[in-house]
Structure 1
Amino acid sequence: MRSITVTMNVTLDGVVQGTGRPDEDTRGGFTHGGWGTRYQDEVMAQEMARGMNNPGDMLFGRRTWQDFITAWGVRTDGNPFTTHMNAVTKYVASTTLADADAWQNSILLRGNAVETVAALKSQPGNDLSIIGSTALVHTLHAAGLIDHYTLLIFPITLGTGTHLFPTPAPLTEFTLTHTVPTTKGIIIAHYDRA
């Protein structure tokens, strides 16, 4: 059986929306986009590269998959992360996409995400990782399908925005397995679902 790991940037007040660019996700009138970029450092880059070294496939919700196509799918910059993103098998859970042909190595999981992801998880194959895809994470977390979280906890509060866990979140306990502090005050915390 495959495991599912979520990697998510999160503020101290639990916001996960719009980390990378001002226009990344403005739903709900969110105006703080790009809040995470000034905290990047070499420690963070090394930790994220370490995660890419583990063989695995990726799992996306439709919205994040489409955003990543424009961010990564068209790049030819030789960046190891770009190379990884384009080469890895990408599963996209969606009820609205007609196909997943817009980005190489993408496979559409059409229909109910809990059912399609549970079926994928039960098959032999590489472990799965999710970056972003908050709506998908909410759905899979509530169904008990997520095994691990890697949270990059940023030293900032925003007051508004989409949160890592919806309210109310189901009672879930986690075991902290590893932490790494960065030079810019981020705590990279690795949790297993208890």
Structure 2
Amino acid sequence: MRKLKLQMQITVDGFVAGPEGELDWMWTGGQHDDAMFNQILDIADSCDIILLGGNMTPGFIAHWENVVDHQPDSVEQPLAQRMVNMKKIVFSRNQSGITGRNLQTESGDLATAIHQLKAQPGKDLLVYGGAQFVNSLINLNLIDEYYLFTNPIAIGEGMRIFNSRKPLRLNGSIAYQNGKILNKYVAVPPQNSNE
């Protein structure tokens, strides 16, 4: 059975974006960290499908396709190649006109679609965001592994992915030279089947 992995950047006070979706806080350290970048590549390489929420997809597609097509010397190029070439499924009930390479749209029931994908052969599934989409996956107990890169910054307010209690088991931590820390958590199965 395939696993669904979440990889996100998060602030020390628990936000994944500013109040209007701002992500400028991610680059406050300013330095590229090879070890962290290689870890991100390793996580991507363990998966063969990226799941996306409708709100973040246009910006995600535009960014990575632009890096592939117009920034051959970018340090992001190895990741960009993976992001463009990997199969992507965008979950949206109201945005059918989203386009991008290797992209398809899914408008059916979220839990049913994810369970069907998990049952198929292949590598694991990967989700990067956005906040509302990830919150829905968390609330439906669909995420198996959490890869949260904690940034050494607090922003005071913004978007969260957790809005209720969620027991997780810490499976490992890595501190990087740029001040970020990767905490890998494994989902703890709900005690009550009605949750």
TM > 0.5 fold call: yes
Q: 1:192 aligns with which of 183, 186, 189?
A: 186
**3-state SS of paired residue (1:59):** strand
Q: Any runs of at least 4 consecutive aligned residues in structure 1 with deviations exceeding 6 A, and if so which?
A: none
Structure 2 residue 41 is matched with structure 1 residue 44: no
Structure 2 residue 60 is matched with structure 1 residue 63: no
Which deviates more from structure 2 when the two are superposed, residues 34-43 or residues 87-96?
34-43
Aligned length: 180
Q: Contact 1:8 / 1:131 at 8 angstroms: preserved in 2?
A: yes
Structure 2 residue 111 is matched with structure 1 residue 114: yes
Cα deviation code 1:39-67 (max 9, x no counterpart)? 34223212212223324211000112111
- Aligned identity (percent) is 26
Which deviates more from structure 2 when the two are superposed, residues 71-80 or residues 150-159?
71-80
Q: Contact 2:148 / 2:184 at 8 angstroms: preserved in 1?
A: yes
TM-score, normalised on structure 1? 0.84
The residue aligned with 2:169 is 175
Distance 1:47 1:119 in 2: 28
Distance 2:107 2:161 in 1: 24
Alpha-carbon distance, 1:99 to partner: 4.7
Q: 2:90 aligns with which of 76, 92, 106?
A: 92
The residue aligned with 2:24 is 34
Q: Contact 1:113 / 1:136 at 8 angstroms: preserved in 2?
A: no
Q: Contact 1:58 / 1:90 at 8 angstroms: preserved in 2?
A: yes
Alpha-carbon distance, 1:103 to partner: 0.7
Q: 1:72 aligns with which of 57, 61, 64?
A: 64
Q: Contact 2:46 / 2:123 at 8 angstroms: preserved in 1?
A: no
TM-score, normalised on structure 2? 0.84
Distance 1:127 1:33, change over 3 A: closer
Distance 1:73 1:111 in 2: 27
Q: Pairwise CA RMSD of aligned residues?
A: 1.9
Unaligned runs of 5+ in 2: 189-195
The residue aligned with 1:13 is 13
